């Protein structure tokens, strides 16, 4: 197991390196001079542009910039935002807790609703309950997130006045965005749980368990669900990675000040060190979450051993 | 109140966002329709809650050029002068000034006894300090070019500050003397972080900036207001100003309707609904500093004046206002915004181009384009006139507008495709001339908008016209306001006669206010004057 884990960790290193290189290349590969683009329509003084280029080290040859970039990133320095002139690391660190909070909240909703709906649909296959759960899942998959978010705001905040539109940092203001994201994500989980459960429920050991006289609840939750969890955990892991990268649209709709909103803002302002920093952090956290999920398999399923 | 996803500042800008409210400039006459003279006694107290679509970059005049930052800084920082409804500078921190006969030195007298929020005195040395920071090449201050030909600033005594120019710089009062004055002690204390802890002498003090979430200012209880265009001469009525960052326009509207905001930049699609709400008043500034126009590249057929005139004649501006702007804009034939001092409706009607399809076809025919094969598209030497009109995303009003223009242009025989791209991606394409013509929007207040747009090489590097340059230099170096206006109008006429751009409309600035809000208005440069606002519960 330890050997596998080490090997698995080792394989992420070239991936991370590739991410670094691609993120670095983002800037030279985009057409036009980034500083000129940034100041376009705001101030055209060539002196200011030249000064800014110099401050950002853009007048050096590309290989030198690359080596410097790698060195900076390894030391934990992602550069300085052009617009705010704050360290990119600090900008991201200020926003990350909000994204993490929303990701965890949404994940909780997604798991809870997805599991319950999926299990019910599988157990009551081909009944009204199954149909209802799957229609719900289909609706969740098809609904545009920003529209659903605005409907939630309109209904629960403007009409009913249960929640404030502007988040105040309390747990209560997490409810609507987490519900919006979580319900949408839960539709994938529900469909997956249903099909995985159906497959497991048809197997011999379930019949054996029932024949032994185990209570149905125990059969379902321990024997069936336990075995159906492997693909579900994979998807949940991927979802969590996605949620951690900030739900760009949902964060903007709910004025949730996380990574996604920061990214939208940085893109609008064409603040490329900040954009590069965000892409790097998002890609890296995705890789790490995937790594974690892979390692979790062994813990979850005693049949899987790595040697 | 300002909105939308891109930038803002005091002065110059390509204002990417469609619902704006802000920046600077010379206005011809009383511009606002706000609740200025309102019945009832102002009551102190309360927090004025507003939304902004994004965080400003920095609240430091030496670090920013965003309209939004300029708007927020206006609460904290006072300036040497303000521009009145007469379009002329009036004393603010400066009580008077003198212009040297050669126009190269302007000497201001500073009012005695003004203090910054940190208790240090606002004297000539402090004024000099602020301008020196912007002039300093090491600061790479994006605002520097708006100081024009300013060479140096001297403070011979605490009440006197002298600005020396290499050439007379007429736009200095609007572009330079309205820059907020910062506390030197504050800059020394916070260094690079001053932009997140601004200290000035204005009606509001900076209180806090919650990263990504909100910015709060509180009342300066010791404030003395020297501006004659404000009704309130003392400290502000409201206790605090709260700017909440809400990126999504629909969410801003929801927060306003849920009573969580006092003011709202009204999204155009919500305007009709909100105007019918008895609890809401829409404050409208029709004489805005916005200019929407079509600009052209320096290559055939766009560099042919007849083609440009044909384009200008073919555009049904009123239809664009009715359909794309839902009525909330004014036809503008001048190459300057409607609130600009140089704006002259009669003059521009004489030299401009109203909607006239026959004249458009005539212009094309004169230049050699006729529809010989009867396919509806004019051609020259057997080749159809086929062009692409560009605009930038993601602004539905812009997109609708160029769709209408497409139909208009096809109507007179100019085969037109349309294309919308991201603004940043336009820069290399505009400067290379790859974009032949496009629908653009600027928010700018001073007459020098003409220089910004057209002086060689032009803002898109597509203009080179020595005759126009000479006219612009004359306007820019004529310090006497009346003579300057004449010079600007001469340049304006030249621009129109040669159809260098096709001016289209000026869209209005509109803010929804709740019934609890009183006396909300803008000054002549379209700056909000929030120390005049009071709230009732």
Model confidence pLDDT, tens digit, residues A37-51: 777 766 656 777 777
Task: Give B300-306's long-range contacts (Cβ < 8 A, gap of 24+).
Answer: B301/B385, B301/B387, B301/B436, B302/B387, B302/B436, B302/B437, B304/B367, B305/B498, B305/B499, B306/B363, B306/B364, B306/B366, B306/B367
pLDDT, residue A43, reads 60
Question: What CATH number corresponds to the domain at position B211?
Answer: 3.40.190.10
Domain count, chain A: 2
Neighbouring CB atoms inside 10 A of B7's CB total: 27
**Nearest CB to B255; choose among A44, A165, A270:** A165
Which two tokens mark B363?
A: 């212009």
Angle formed at CA A248 by CA A58 and CA B255, multiple of 5 degrees: 120
DSSP B111: P
| Alpha-carbon distances, residue B309 vs B314, B339, B362, B371 (angstroms) | 8, 25, 10, 18
Q: How far is CA A166 from CA A173, A256, B249, in A?
A: 8, 9, 13
Q: Are residues A31 and A174 in the same domain?
A: no
What per-residue confidence (pLDDT) applies to B220? Answer: 97
Is residue B4, in this structure, part of any structural domain at all?
no
User: Do B404 and B482 sit in the same domain of this protein?
Assistant: yes
Pair B412, B436 in one domain: yes
From CA B343, how far away is CA B501, in angstroms rounded? 15
- Domain assignment of residue A9, yes or no: yes
Asked if the C-beta of B480 comes within 8 angstroms of chain A's C-beta atoms, the answer is no
Residue B186 has pLDDT above 90, yes or no: yes
Helix (H) or strand (E) holding B439: strand B437-443
Distance from CA of A153 to the nearest CA of B (A): 7
Nearest residue of B to residue A56, measured between CA atoms: B140
Whether residues B274 and B353 fall in one domain: no
Residue A290 lies in a domain: yes
CA of B317 vs chain A CAs: smallest distance (Å): 25
- B83 with B226, same domain: the answer is yes
Residue written as token pair 């891109």: B6
Residue A196 lies in a domain: yes
B253, B317: one domain: no
Nearest to B140 among A55, A95, A165 (CB): A55
User: What was the pLDDT predicted at A41?
Assistant: 65
Mean pLDDT of chain B: 89
Nearest chain A CA: its distance from B215 CA (Å): 13
A91 CA to chain B: closest CA distance, Å?
8
pLDDT of residue B38: 53
Q: Is A222 in the same domain as A265? A: yes
> Do A163 and A199 have their domain in common?
yes
Q: Between B208 and A198, name the one with better pLDDT.
A: B208
B9–chain A Cβ distance below 8 A for any pair? yes
Judgement on whether residues A101 and A53 belong to the same structural domain of the protein: no
Q: Per-residue pLDDT tens for B219-278?
A: 999 999 999 999 999 999 999 999 999 998 999 999 999 999 999 999 888 888 899 999
Minimum distance, in Å, between the CA of residue B99 and any CA atom of chain A? 27
Per-residue pLDDT reduced to its tens digit, B22-38: 333 322 333 344 444 45
- Any alpha helices (H) in B341-443, and if so which ranges? 345-351, 357-366, 396-411, 423-432
Q: Is B257 on the interface with A (CB under 8 A)?
A: yes
Examine the domain organization and report whether B249 and B296 are in the same domain.
no
- CB-nearest to B251 from A47, A84, A255 is A255
Closest C-alpha among A95, A51, A141, A43 to residue A248: A95
Do A43 and B247 lie within an 8 Å CB cutoff? no
CATH assignment at residue B371:
3.10.105.10
Question: Quick check: B244 contacting A, CB < 8 Å?
Answer: yes
Same domain, yes or no, for A8 and A52?
Answer: yes
How far apart are alpha carbons B307 and B293 in whole angstroms? 15
B483 touches chain A (CB under 8 A): no
Triad A178, A184, A189: Cα angle to 5°: 105
Interface ipTM: 0.81
State residue B198's pLDDT score: 97
Please name the residue ranges forming H helices in B258-304. Answer: 268-275
Q: Which positions in chain B touch A161 (Cβ < 8 Å)? A: 258
Burial class of residue B436 (count of CB atoms within 10 Å of its CB; 0-12, 13-18, 19+): buried
Query: In angstroms, rounded to a whole number, what is the distance separating the alpha carbons of residues B425 and B406?
Result: 22
Q: Cβ contact (<8 Å) for A32 and B427?
A: yes
CB A262 within 8 A of CB A195: no
Give the per-residue pLDDT at B169: 93
The pLDDT value given to residue A264: 86
- Are residues A273 and A139 part of one domain? yes
Domains in chain B: how many in total?
2
Together in a domain, A67 and A196: no
In this complex, do B145 and A165 lie within 8 Å of one another by their Cβ atoms?
Answer: no
Q: How far B431 CA sits from the closest chain A CA (Å)?
A: 10
B110 & B123 share domain: yes
CA distance B506 to chain A (A): 18
A212 and A120 within one domain: yes
SS3 string, chain A, reads: CHHHHHHHHHHHHHHHHHHHHHHHHHHHHCCCCHHHHHHCCCCCCHHHHHHHHHHCCCCCCHHHHHHHHHHHHHCCCCCECCCCCCEHHHHHHHHHHHHHHHHHHHHHHHHHHHHHHHHHHHHCCCCHHHHHHHHHHHHHHHCCHHHHHHHHHHHHHHHCCCCCCCCCCCHHHHHHHHHHHHHHHHHHHHHHHHHHHHHHHCCHHHHHHHHCCCCHHHHHHHHHHHHHHHHHHHHHHHHHHHHHCCCHHHHHHCCCCCHHHHHHHHHHHCCHHHHHHHHHHHHHHHHHHHHHHHHHHHHHCCCCCCC
| Omega prior to A282 cis, within 30 of 0 | no
Q: Which of A49, A153, A255, A257 to mutate to test the interface with B (most CBs of B within 10 A)?
A: A255
Measured CA angle at B140 (ends B136, B145), to 5 deg: 80
Q: Is residue A55 part of a domain?
A: yes
> What is the predicted pLDDT for the residue at B6?
29
Do B322 and B457 lie in one domain? The reply is yes
Q: Is residue A85 part of a domain?
A: no
B419 plus B520 within the same structural domain: no
In a domain, A212, yes or no: yes
Q: B356-375 burial, b for 16+ CB within 10 Å, e for fewer? A: eeebbbbbbeebebebeeee
Neighbours of B535 (CB within 10 A): 21
CB-based burial, A207-239: b 16+ in 10 Å, e otherwise: eebeeeeeeeeebbeebbbebbbeebebbbbeb
- Contact (CB<8Å) A47/B137: yes
Instruction: Tell me chain A's radius of gyration from C-alpha atoms.
Output: 24
In this structure, the number of other CB atoms found within 10 A of the CB of residue B132 comes to 15
Element (H, E) at B264: strand B263-265
Co-location of A52 and A201 in the same domain: no
φ/ψ region of B45 (left if φ > 0, alpha if ψ in -120 to 50, else beta) reads left
φ, ψ of residue A71 to 5 degrees: the values are: -60, -45
Closest chain B CA to residue A36: B427
Contact assignment for B141 to A261 by CB distance below 8 Å? no
Whole-number Å distance between alpha carbons of B453 and B440: 11
The answer to whether the beta carbons of residues B253 and B264 sit under 8 Å apart is: yes
Residue B137 touches partner A, C-beta closer than 8 Å: yes
Q: Tell me which residue in A42, A55, A262 faces B13 most closely, judged by beta carbons.
A: A42
**Residue A68 sits in the same domain as residue A98:** no
- Residue where a domain stops, chosen among A74, A106, A132: A74
Is residue B55 less than 8 Å (CB to CB) from chain A? yes
User: What is the extent of the structural domain holding B89?
Assistant: 42-285+509-535
Distance between CA B165 and CA B155 in Å, rounded?
15
Contact status of B245 with chain A (Cβ, < 8 Å): yes
Residue of chain A minimizing CA distance to B4? A268
- Please list, in sequence order, all residues whose beta carbon lies within 8 angstroms of the beta carbon of residue A291, skipping any fewer than 6 positions away: A8, A9, A12
Q: Which of A26, A43, A74 is the last residue before a domain boundary?
A: A74
Residues B231 and B307 in one domain: no
Residue B130 lies in a domain: yes
* Dist CA A209 CA A220 (whole Å): 10
Count of CB atoms situated within 10 Å of the CB of A3: 9
- Asked if B16 and B3 touch (Cβ cutoff 8 Å), the reply is no
Q: In this predicted model, what pLDDT tens digit does every residue of A14-64 receive, in sequence order?
A: 999 999 999 998 888 877 777 777 777 666 567 777 777 887 778 888 899
Indicate if A32 and A180 belong to the same structural domain: no
- Identify the closest residue of chain B to A39 by CA–CA distance: B142
| Cα distance between residue B157 and residue B483, in whole Å | 32
- Residues in chain A within 8 Å Cβ distance of B426: 40
C-alpha to C-alpha distances, B2 to B9, B113, B209, B310, B524, nearest whole angstrom: 10, 33, 18, 36, 16
CA angle B65, B66, B68 (to 5 degrees): 145
Cβ <8 Å between A84 and B57: yes
For residue A95, the distance in angstroms to the closest alpha carbon of chain B comes to: 8
CB contact under 8 A, B142 and A165: no
- Residue B269 resides in a domain: yes
pLDDT score at A56: 78
- Give the model confidence (pLDDT) of A235-245 as tens digits: 888 888 888 77
Of B16, B212, B251, which has the smallest distance from its Cβ to A253's Cβ? B251
- Mean pLDDT over residues B429-442, rounded? 92
Contact B255/A at CB under 8 A: yes
User: What is residue B196's DSSP assignment?
Assistant: G
Measured distance CA(B412)–CA(B314) in Å, rounded: 7
Q: Do A52 and B211 touch (CB under 8 A)?
A: no
Among A35-44, B31-40, B136-145, B304-313, whose mean pLDDT is lowest? Answer: B31-40
Residue B343 covered by a domain:
yes
Q: Chain A to chain B, count of Cβ pairs less than 8 Å apart?
A: 137
Are residue B514 and residue B395 in the same domain, yes or no? no
Contact B266, B272 (CB under 8 A): no
Main-chain phi, psi angles of A291, to 5 degrees: -60, -45
3-state secondary structure of B466: helix
A80 occurs within a structural domain:
no
Burial B227-261 (b: 16+ CB within 10 A, else e): bebbbbeebbbbebbbbbbbbbbbbbbbbbbbebb
Residues B342 and B488 in one domain: yes
Q: Are residues A209 and A291 in the same domain?
A: yes
How far is the alpha carbon of A228 from chain B, nearest alpha carbon, in Å? 40
Structural domain that includes position A113 = 94-300
* Interface check B428 vs A, CB under 8 A: yes
Q: Does B418 reach chain A within 8 Å, measured CB to CB?
A: no
Note whether B424 contacts A32, CB cutoff 8 Å.
yes
Give the pLDDT of residue B15.
47
Residues of chain A with pLDDT under 50: none
Its pTM stands at: 0.84
């Amino acid at each position: 197991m330890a050997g596998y884990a080490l090997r698995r960790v080792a394989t992420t290193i070239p991936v991370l390196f590739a991410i670094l290189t691609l993120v670095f290349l983002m800037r030279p590969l985009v057409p036009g001079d980034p500083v000129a683009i940034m100041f376009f329509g705001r101030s055209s003084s060539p002196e200011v542009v030249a000064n800014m280029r110099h401050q950002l080290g853009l007048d050096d040859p590309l290989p030198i910039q690359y080596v410097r970039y790698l060195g900076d990133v390894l030391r934990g320095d992602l550069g300085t935002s052009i617009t705010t002139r704050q360290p990119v690391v600090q900008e991201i660190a200020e926003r990350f807790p909000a994204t993490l909070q929303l990701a965890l909240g949404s994940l909780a909703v997604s798991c809870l609703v997805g599991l319950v709906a999926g299990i019910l649909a599988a157990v009551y296959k081909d009944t009204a309950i199954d149909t209802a759960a799957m229609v719900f899942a289909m609706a969740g998959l098809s609904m545009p997130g920003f529209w659903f978010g605005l409907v939630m705001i309109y209904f629960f905040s403007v009409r009913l006045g249960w929640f404030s539109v502007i988040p105040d940092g309390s747990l209560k203001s997490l409810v609507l965005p987490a519900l919006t994201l979580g319900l949408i994500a839960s539709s994938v989980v529900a469909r997956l749980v249903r099909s995985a459960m159906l497959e497991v429920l048809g197997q011999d050991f379930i019949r054996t368990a029932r024949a032994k006289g185990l209570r149905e609840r125990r059969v379902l939750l321990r024997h069936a669900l336990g075995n159906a969890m492997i693909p579900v955990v994979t998807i949940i892991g991927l979802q969590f990675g996605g949620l951690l990268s900030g739900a760009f649209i949902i964060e903007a709709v709910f004025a949730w000040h996380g990574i996604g909103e920061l990214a939208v803002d940085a893109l609008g302002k064409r603040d490329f060190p900040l954009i590069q920093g965000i892409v790097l952090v998002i890609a890296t956290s995705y890789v790490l979450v995937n790594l974690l999920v892979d390692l979790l398999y062994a813990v979850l399923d005693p049949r899987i051993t790595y040697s | 109140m300002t909105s939308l996803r891109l930038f803002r500042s005091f002065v110059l800008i390509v204002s990417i966002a469609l619902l704006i409210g802000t920046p600077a400039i010379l206005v011809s006459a009383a511009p606002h329709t706000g609740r200025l003279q309102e019945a009832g006694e102002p009551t102190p107290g309360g927090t004025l809650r507003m939304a902004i679509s994004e965080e400003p970059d920095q609240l430091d005049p030496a670090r920013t050029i965003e309209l939004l930052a300029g708007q927020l800084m206006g609460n904290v920082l006072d300036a040497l002068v303000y521009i009145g409804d007469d379009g002329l500078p009036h004393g603010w921190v400066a009580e008077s000034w003198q212009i040297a006969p050669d126009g190269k030195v302007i000497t201001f007298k500073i009012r005695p006894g003004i203090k910054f929020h940190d208790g240090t005195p606002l004297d000539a040395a402090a004024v000099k300090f602020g301008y020196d920071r912007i002039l300093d090449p090491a600061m790479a201050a994006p605002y520097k070019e708006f100081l024009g030909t300013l060479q140096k600033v001297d403070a011979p005594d605490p009440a006197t500050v002298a600005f020396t120019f290499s050439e007379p710089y007429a736009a200095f009062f609007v572009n330079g003397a309205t820059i907020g004055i910062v506390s030197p002690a504050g800059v020394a204390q916070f260094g690079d972080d001053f932009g997140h802890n601004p200290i000035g002498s204005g009606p509001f003090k900076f209180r806090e900036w919650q990263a990504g979430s909100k910015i709060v200012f509180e009342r300066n209880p010791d404030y003395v207001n020297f501006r004659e265009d404000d009704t309130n001469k003392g400290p502000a009525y409201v206790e605090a100003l709260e700017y909440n960052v809400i990126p999504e326009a629909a969410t801003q509207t929801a927060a306003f309707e849920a009573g969580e905001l006092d003011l709202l930049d009204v999204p155009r699609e919500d305007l009709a609904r909100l105007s019918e709400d008895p609890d809401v008043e829409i404050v409208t500034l029709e004489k805005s500093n916005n200019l929407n126009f079509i600009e052209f590249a320096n290559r055939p057929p766009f560099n042919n004046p007849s083609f440009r005139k044909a384009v200008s004649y073919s555009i049904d501006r009123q239809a664009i206002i009715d359909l794309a702007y839902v009525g909330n804009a004014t036809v503008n034939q001048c190459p300057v915004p409607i609130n600009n001092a140089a704006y002259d409706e009669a003059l521009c009607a004489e030299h401009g181009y109203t909607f006239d399809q026959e004249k458009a076809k005539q212009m094309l025919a004169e230049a050699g384009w006729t529809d010989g094969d009867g396919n509806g598209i004019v051609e020259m030497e057997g080749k159809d006139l086929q062009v692409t009109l560009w605009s930038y995303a993601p602004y539905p009003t812009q997109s609708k507008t160029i769709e209408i223009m497409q139909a208009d242009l096809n109507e007179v025989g100019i085969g037109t495709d349309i294309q919308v791209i991201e603004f940043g991606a336009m820069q290399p394409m505009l400067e290379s001339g790859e974009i032949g013509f496009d629908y653009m929007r600027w928010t700018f207040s001073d007459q020098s908008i003409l220089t910004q747009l057209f002086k060689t090489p032009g803002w898109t590097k597509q203009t080179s016209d020595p005759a126009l340059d000479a006219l612009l230099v004359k306007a820019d170096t004529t310090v006497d306001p009346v003579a300057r206006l004449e010079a600007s109008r001469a340049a304006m006429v030249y621009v129109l006669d040669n159809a260098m751009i096709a001016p289209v409309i000026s869209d209005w600035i509109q803010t929804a206010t709740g019934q609890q809000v009183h006396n909300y208005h803008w000054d002549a440069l379209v700056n909000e004057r929030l120390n005049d606002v009071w709230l009732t519960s």
